[in-house]
Amino acid sequence: MSHFTRKILLLAAVLIFVTGEAAAQIVFGSPPVARARIVYQSWTVDNDITGDKFDVSQWYFPVYGFVPIAEDWEVHVSSATAGTQSDSSGSDVSINGLNDTRISVLHSLFDDRLLLGAGLNIPTGKATLELDQSGLGQVLTTDFLNFPAKNYGEGFGLYLESAYARQTGKLTLGVGAGYLLSSSYSPIRGSDSYDPGDKFVAGGNLGVSHDFGNAYAYLRYSSFGNSTQDGIDVYKIGSITEVAFGTTFIYEQFESDAGVRLLFRQADSRTVSGELLEFEHKNYGNDLRIFTALGYRLRKAGKASVLIDYKSISANGFESGDDEYAGKANIFGFGAGFEKSVTDEVDLSASFKSFSGSADDGNLDLSGLEIGLAVRVTL
C-alpha cells in the first residue's frame, strides 16, 4: 500500500461503522473500488489440566462494493459468508451461512471536509442458532481466538455517524462519532428475544507525514446500552477505550510498518435481584497488541513481507478458581505476505501466519494458522 493511500485511510478512519476505505471514496476523491477476500483460520486448544483437545476452524468470505448515485452521494454495501467447524472428543459441530448485510449512504459537505453517514444492518445472517450450535457460537467470541466472524448475525440495526477531517501541511486531524440502534432477536431457537443494546462510539486521530513515511495515533471510546432479555435488563458491557499508534517507514525498496494497540475495558454490569449493578470484574481482560511488517519491493514482481505479531490479554479480574475466571493469555504470530499489482486497476495479495501461545494462565496451549487471499479492483 502506498504512502498516499495510507494517509487517505488514516483520515477516513474517524468514521465508526463504515470502513475507512469506503469513507475515503467521497472525501478524498478516490476512484470506486470493489474488494473481496477469503480467509481460512484454524486453532487447536489443548487443556493441560483435563487433557482434552479442541479443534476449531473457520473460512470467511467478505465482499464489498459501492455505487455513486449523485455528486457527493454514494451507497456502500458489504456482506460476508462464513463456515465454522469444531471437533471435540469426536463430536462435530458446524455453523454455515451468510452474515448480516450492511448498506450505508454517505454524503460529503463543506468542500469534502465533513462526511455524514446513515445505514442499516439488515439481518440476512444466521442470528438464531440451534441448541447444539450454541457452544460453538460462544467459542467464536473467545477473546484469545481472533476469528474474523465472531457471530453470524445480530438482528436489524440502524446507525448514524459523522466525521470531520482536515489536513494542514504534513499534519492530518480527524474526529468522528456514531450511534448504533440495535433491535432484538432470538440467539438460540426457542429462546426469549435478546437485544444486545445500543452502542455509541466517538474518536479522533492524528497523523504526521515525514520524509520516509508517516506516523499516526488514534483514540476511540465506546459506550454500550443495556442488554435485555424478553424486555428485562440483564447485562451491560462496560465502556471500552482503544488507543493505538504506529508508523510506516519507506526507504528505496524497503518498507516497514509497526504499531501498538491498547484496549482498556471497564467493569460490566449484571442484574442482581432485579437491579442492574456494576461488578468489580469483566468478562474479558485488557488487550495489548504489537505488530510489525517488514517488506521489500521486488521491482515489478511485487512486495514480499515478513509479518510478526504479539497479543497479550490480562486476566478478567475474577478470583482464580471462580467458574468465570479467565487467566492471562499470550499469543505470538509469525508469517509472510505478498502483494502485487497485476494491472493499474487490479491488486492481489496473499498471506500466511502461524500462531502459538497459551491462555488461562498457561493451562491452555494454543496453536493456529491463518491463510488469506484478496483481490482489489479499482473501477
Amino acid sitting at position 140:
L
Tens of pLDDT, residues 274-302? 777 777 677 788 999 999 999 998 877 78
Instruction: Based on DSSP, count helices (H) and strands (E) in the chain, helices before strands.
Output: 3, 22
Question: What residue ranges of the chain have pLDDT lower than 70?
Answer: 1-32, 89-90, 273, 280, 379
Q: How many distinct structural domains can be found in the chain?
A: 1
Strand partners, 143: none
Alpha-carbon gap, residue 208 to 214, rounded angstroms: 6
Three-state SS for 140?
helix
The pTM of the full predicted model, rounded to 2 decimals, is 0.85
pLDDT of the residue at 256: 92
pLDDT of the residue at 10: 37
CATH of the domain at 86: 2.40.160
Contacts of 345 (CB under 8 A, 6+ apart): 377, 378, 379
pLDDT of the residue at 4: 35
Alpha-carbon gap, residue 207 to 165, rounded angstroms: 11
Are 41 and 57 within 8 A, CB to CB?
yes
pLDDT of the residue at 14: 46
pLDDT of the residue at 102: 92
Give the residue numbers spanning the domain of 84.
3-378
Tens of pLDDT, residues 304-316? 999 999 999 999 8
Burial (CB < 10 A; 0-12, 13-18, 19+), residue 4, is exposed
Tens of pLDDT, residues 324-352? 788 899 999 999 999 998 888 888 999 99
Lookup: cell for 38 = 477469503
pLDDT of the residue at 21: 42
pLDDT of the residue at 280: 67
Alpha-carbon gap, residue 280 to 260, rounded angstroms: 27
pLDDT of the residue at 85: 94
